[in-house]
Structure 1
Amino acid sequence: MADYRRYAKKPSNTNTTSEPEADEEWDIYADEGERLDGFPDEGEVEITAVTPLRKPRHHYKLTFGELNLMVHEDVMIKYRLLKGMYFSKEELENIVIANERQTAYAEALNYLSRKARTRTEIARKLKEKEIHPEIIETTLVRLQQEKLIDDELYAQQWAKQRVNSQKKGKVWIRQELRQKGVNKENIEQALEEIDPNDEIASATILAEKKWKSTSGEVFDKKRKTMAFLMRRGYSSDIVRKALDAVQQKPEDDWE
Structure 2
Amino acid sequence: MTVTSLTPKSKTRTRVEIDYDTTLVLSNRDVYLYNLRVGEEIPENVWDMIRDEQKSSALRKCGSLLQDMDYARQGLIDKLTRAGYPEDIATEAADRMEEAHYIDDRRLSDSYLKYHLNDRSLARIRQDLLRKGVPGTVIEEAIAAYREENEAVITQQEEEQIRQLLAKRHFDLDTADYAEIQKTIAFLLRKGYAMETIRKVMKEQ
TM-score normalised to the size of structure 1?
A: 0.56
Cα contact 1:163–1:202 (8 A) shared by 2: yes
**For residue 161 of structure 2, what is the amino acid of its counterpart?**
L
Whole-Å separation in 2 of the counterparts to 1:236 and 1:124: 35
Of 183, 190, 203 in structure 1, the residue corresponding to residue 142 of structure 2 is: 190
Q: Report the Cα offset of residue 153 of structure 1.
A: 1.2
> Per the alignment, do residues 216 and 236 of structure 1 end up closer, same or farther by CA in structure 2, a change over 3 Å counting?
closer
Q: Secondary structure at the match of 2:12?
A: coil
Of 89, 97, 100 in structure 2, the residue corresponding to residue 143 of structure 1 is: 97
Q: Report the number of matched residues.
A: 175
> Per the alignment, do residues 198 and 243 of structure 1 end up closer, same or farther by CA in structure 2, a change over 3 Å counting?
farther
Whole-Å separation in 2 of the counterparts to 1:169 and 1:199: 9
Does residue 173 (structure 1) correspond to residue 160 (structure 2)? The answer is: no
Of 25, 36, 40 in structure 1, the residue corresponding to residue 12 of structure 2 is: 25
Whole-Å separation in 1 of the counterparts to 2:183 and 2:161: 12
**Alpha-carbon deviations, 1:73-117, whole Å to 9, x = none?**
xxxxxxxxxxxxxxxx66544332211101111122222221111
Cα contact 1:226–1:243 (8 A) shared by 2: no
Of 97, 107, 112 in structure 1, the residue corresponding to residue 61 of structure 2 is: 107
Q: Secondary structure at the match of 2:50?
A: helix
Q: Report the Cα offset of residue 142 of structure 1.
A: 0.5
Structure 1 portions without partners, runs of 5+: 1-23, 34-55, 71-88, 248-255
Whole-Å separation in 1 of the counterparts to 2:104 and 2:123: 22
Q: Report the Cα offset of residue 190 of structure 1.
A: 1.7
Cα contact 1:155–1:190 (8 A) shared by 2: yes
Whole-Å separation in 1 of the counterparts to 2:152 and 2:123: 16
**For residue 129 of structure 1, what is the amino acid of its counterpart?**
A
Whole-Å separation in 1 of the counterparts to 2:44 and 2:163: 70
Whole-Å separation in 2 of the counterparts to 1:161 and 1:106: 28
Corresponding residue number in structure 2 for 1:125: 79
Corresponding residue number in structure 1 for 2:174: 217
The CA RMSD over aligned residues, in Å, is: 3.3
> Per the alignment, do residues 114 and 186 of structure 1 end up closer, same or farther by CA in structure 2, a change over 3 Å counting?
same
Q: Report the Cα offset of residue 61 of structure 1.
A: 5.1
Query: Which of 1 and 2 has greater Rg?
Result: 1
Whole-Å separation in 2 of the counterparts to 1:185 and 1:242: 31
Does residue 202 (structure 1) correspond to residue 157 (structure 2)? The answer is: yes
**Alpha-carbon deviations, 1:156-192, whole Å to 9, x = none?**
211222212xx21122222222222221211111221
**Alpha-carbon deviations, 1:178-212, whole Å to 9, x = none?**
22222121111122114222322222323333444
**What fraction of aligned residue pairs are identical, expressed as a percent?**
20
Cα contact 2:105–2:138 (8 A) shared by 1: yes
**For residue 208 of structure 1, what is the amino acid of its counterpart?**
R
> Per the alignment, do residues 223 and 95 of structure 1 end up closer, same or farther by CA in structure 2, a change over 3 Å counting?
same
Structure 2 portions without partners, runs of 5+: 1-10, 20-25, 36-42
Q: Secondary structure at the match of 2:33?
A: strand
> Per the alignment, do residues 122 and 211 of structure 1 end up closer, same or farther by CA in structure 2, a change over 3 Å counting?
closer
Whole-Å separation in 1 of the counterparts to 2:91 and 2:104: 15
Corresponding residue number in structure 2 for 1:46: none
